[in-house]
Amino acid sequence: MRYLNGLLSGITWLNERLGRWFVAYLVFVMFFLLLIEVVARYVLAAPTIWATELTQMIFGAYIMLSGGYLLVHRRHVSVDIFYSRFSPRTRAATDIATSVFFFIFMLVLLKEGWTMAEEAISTLETSHSAWNPPIWPLKLLVPIGALLLLLQGIVKLVQDVRTFFAGAPAAAERLQAEEGEA
The closest of 54, 37, 56 to 45, measured between CA atoms, is 37
Under 8 Å between Cβ of 149 and 65: no
Q: Which of 31-40, 78-87, 167-176 has the lowest mean pLDDT?
A: 167-176
For the chain, what is the HEC assignment?
A: CHHHHHHHHHHHHHHHHHHHHHHHHHHHHHHHHHHHHHHHHHHCCCCCCCHHHHHHHHHHHHHHHHHHHHHHCCCCCCCHHHHCCCCHHHHHHHHHHHHHHHHHHHHHHHHHHHHHHHHHHHHCCECCCCCCCECHHHHHHHHHHHHHHHHHHHHHHHHHHHHHHHCCCHHHHHHHHHHHHC
Domain that holds residue 85: 2-181
Under 8 Å between Cβ of 124 and 43: no
The closest of 60, 42, 18 to 34, measured between CA atoms, is 42
79 contact partners, CB below 8 Å, separation of at least 6:
none
Confidence of residue 20 (pLDDT cuts 50, 70, 90): very high
The closest of 61, 54, 50, 74 to 24, measured between CA atoms, is 61
Mean pLDDT for 99-122 is 98
How many separate domains does the chain show?
Answer: 1
% pLDDT > 70, the chain: 92
d(CA 114, CA 34): 30
Q: Which of 20-29, 107-116, 164-173 has the lowest mean pLDDT?
A: 164-173
Record the pTM.
0.86
pLDDT of 144? 98
pLDDT of 171? 46
pLDDT of 159? 95
**Mean pLDDT (the chain, rounded):** 91
